[in-house]
Structure 1
């Protein structure tokens, strides 16, 4: 009577598939038993032990290419390799945790692409009278600003936060939104541009300095959705022209 078990039984006992057993044999992780008199390979306790060891190390995250040498390593080398694998798994866990957090933020809308502070400012806007289209445009502009001018982003948020706290700024911005329904030659545009420029000069005449060093990025951000709001683009141009006339350097001139 032949001793040992078949490859199917060995795989079932160890908790892997026959395909995995054959793969272990092929790459040298476990010795392949000799065939018995009937022509079948029979797995004894020694072969099963090798399969269990290989399966356990693979399940722990040890790369297959390292398992063979590890099975024959001395205790110190074995411990060092396991410590290295543990470090790799720790890094992987941190990476997966960060990905999971990003997914959670994605489910919460803006928070995947913007910090909490920026999201809080966006959340304030509807109560101040800003409609959903304006808030959406501001969200997109903030995302672009954060990506393209990261060194100036916190300062930009500082100015936005200050503006939302100022009734005059809010009123001027709402007036600018109302102006999108005006004709391009409406004289009120010049008046509104003057008021906006005066507000900039009084509140922070150096506010555009960081943007001046990143004029290409500024133009991309500031002209975002410009084709949807040509009056807004004209108003911006008029305001910047007045600022330049007052000696304030703007990103576009």
Structure 2
């Protein structure tokens, strides 16, 4: 027996903070200063965070990372309070700290310049992703596309987001594929409405989604957005090593997000993946 409506999943403050790369205390501080709206509370009185809350948290963390907000320099002088150490060693250590801070300020200034030039949230994405999206006219991408890229980059890194960006480029430049994608999204969302996982519509929708994915891949290949980009990706991959350590695996990151798909929708996703694997295997 499946419920007629599956409510959106919402997560606790610990999971929300872990996904954003911060702490529950910091999240509470964001609430206190009005930076993050207070979310709904569950029956136990605890805060519950949904998708929009997570997007806002990612914005806050990314903007803080480029120097937007208060920046305390006291850490650089902590070692100088140890009077037992030789003054030359202390000064040498402090000089290294300040040099590192200077490099960080230059990085932050460059990031702020990107934000001013590209706007938000596009300017919050990595250079690899924004470069790939650069030839599209302003407004070609939907705000939801950009939010998805923000989440994808957090989970899978810049290279994963760059691959996802290729899909959005095709959707932005092929109205027929965009219309079909919207139709499939709506149909998949309807599976959360108490549909039996073995309903024939699940298999039909999986076949349609597979066909759509193949069409997207063909359009990407025709536009030079697939294997032709691999060499450029390899160059960026070397440059981006260590750019942002999420501190968790992609699977762990995904479990922190407020996704809660029904059994029917999960089966549709699994069938789609199997159909795609079979299709690619047959092609080779």
* Bigger Rg, which one: 1
TM (norm. structure 2) is 0.39
TM (norm. structure 1) is 0.43
Relative CO higher for 1 or 2, CA cutoff 8 Å, sep ≥ 6?
2
Compare the two structures and name the one with the higher helix fraction: 1
